[in-house]
Amino acid sequence: MKKKLNLNFWKNKKVFVTGHTGFKGSWLTLLLKYLGAHVTGYSLKPNNKSSLFKEAKIKKIIDKSIIADVRDKNRLYKEIKKSNANIVFHLAAQALVRESYIDPIKTFETNVMGTINILESIRKIKSIKSSVIITSDKVYDIKKNKIFKETDLLGGVDPYSASKVCCEHAFNAFVHSFFDQKRMCSVATARAGNVIGGGDYSKDRLIPDIIRAIKLKKKIIIRNPKSIRPWQHVLDPVSGYIILAEKLYKNKFNKIHSWNFGPDLSNCKTVKYIANKLALSSNSSIKILNEKTKLFKKETVLLRLNNKKAKKIA
């Protein structure tokens, strides 16, 4: 992976990252700093007691850490402008499916208006040359049981997925109305699958839930153990976002695109497979219980991404 990231390109680039206090945003910040970029982060405070942001002391590593809300469009615009950013990564989101059932309004406001506020800022700020907007693998129309490619129909059924579909539509509207005509900034959306890796303490995510259960010697309750997901290590999509932003900056594509970032099909495993593997590797005897709730009954059983397009640029 190290070989594919272009140190020469990233050295001294000014980069604005939303969601830098989150799981993926922390990894992205670490990687960008490793590549020599100047990074300004913009997010809410980490909402868990433990976080990679705190453990990796990202506040000390990053050039500027701004704790603010992406729904505050004036502040967001002001901070991006002040940072003089050349490249923007937008990761800030209410990123949990269960939370989206509990608070759909916050989920839509944060994810949709947050993205629109970013797009509007990008449109107005001339220093920005490229931007990657992070959506999700959950944007596809799951009624179609297939391996999704970027041109497939969108259609999320839970509030989180639907909010990310709205982001894709807003992106599309901005591209066709503004970016495409003037070519002043190259933007893309990135749709990645479920990520795993160190420093994820989120609730309702498989690996953190299992580790908490193992530590507390509790039974592991998982939803939909038979569901298949495109599991990948966090550094895979994060380095994909970095490569994509560089190519966009250099105007490598004559069309604005969305990109899937996912593992090869052989690595798309069931939730139960991952849970058992983790229990085995930690020498724990765990009992996996299927969560009895109607909340997630619409969640897709089979979610696999076609990654051919991204593989071509890497």
Ligand X SMILES: NC(=O)c1ccc[n+]([C@@H]2O[C@H](COP(=O)([O-])OP(=O)(O)OC[C@H]3O[C@@H](n4cnc5c(N)ncnc54)[C@H](O)[C@@H]3O)[C@@H](O)[C@H]2O)c1
Report the C-alpha gap between 261 and 310 in whole angstroms.
6
Least distance in Å: CB of 97 to ligand X?
10
Q: How far is the CB of 205 from ligand X (least distance, A)?
A: 7
CB of 285 to ligand X, least distance (A): 27
Within a 10 A sphere around the Cβ of 161, how many other Cβ atoms?
24
Residue with Cβ nearer ligand X (108 or 174) = 108
Handedness of CA 135, 140, 145, 147 (dihedral sign): negative
Question: Which spans of this chain sit near ligand X (rule: CB under 6 A)?
Answer: 19, 21-25, 43-44, 69-71, 91-95, 110, 114, 134, 136-137, 192, 194-195, 202
CB of 185 or CB of 195, closer to ligand X: 195
Residue 223 three-state SS: coil
Q: To the nearest whole angstrom, how small is the minimum distance from the Cβ of residue 120 to ligand X?
A: 15
Candidates 228, 260, 262; CA nearest to 152 is 260
Taken in order 285, 289, 290, 291, the sign of the CA dihedral is: negative
Question: Amino acid identity, residue 80?
Answer: I
First to last CA, the chain: 9
- Using CA atoms, how far apart are residues 243 and 250, in angstroms rounded to an integer? 11
Beta carbon of residue 219, minimum distance to ligand X (angstroms, whole number): 24
Which one, 25 or 225, has the nearer CB to ligand X?
A: 25
Cβ-count burial of 162 within 10 angstroms (0-12 exposed, 13-18 middle, 19+ buried)?
buried
Cα(99)–Cα(216) distance, rounded to whole angstroms? 23
Calpha distance 44→230 (Å, rounded): 28
Residue 65 or 186 with smaller CB distance to ligand X: 65
CB 217, min distance to ligand X, A: 26
- Residue 191 CB, shortest distance to ligand X, in Å, is 8
Angle at 202 between CA 227 and CA 152, to 5 degrees: 45
Cβ 46 to ligand X, closest distance in Å? 7
Distance of alpha carbon 234 from alpha carbon 104, whole angstroms: 26
Residue 9 vs 40, nearer CB to ligand X? 40
User: Using the 8-state DSSP alphabet, how is residue 84 labeled?
Assistant: T
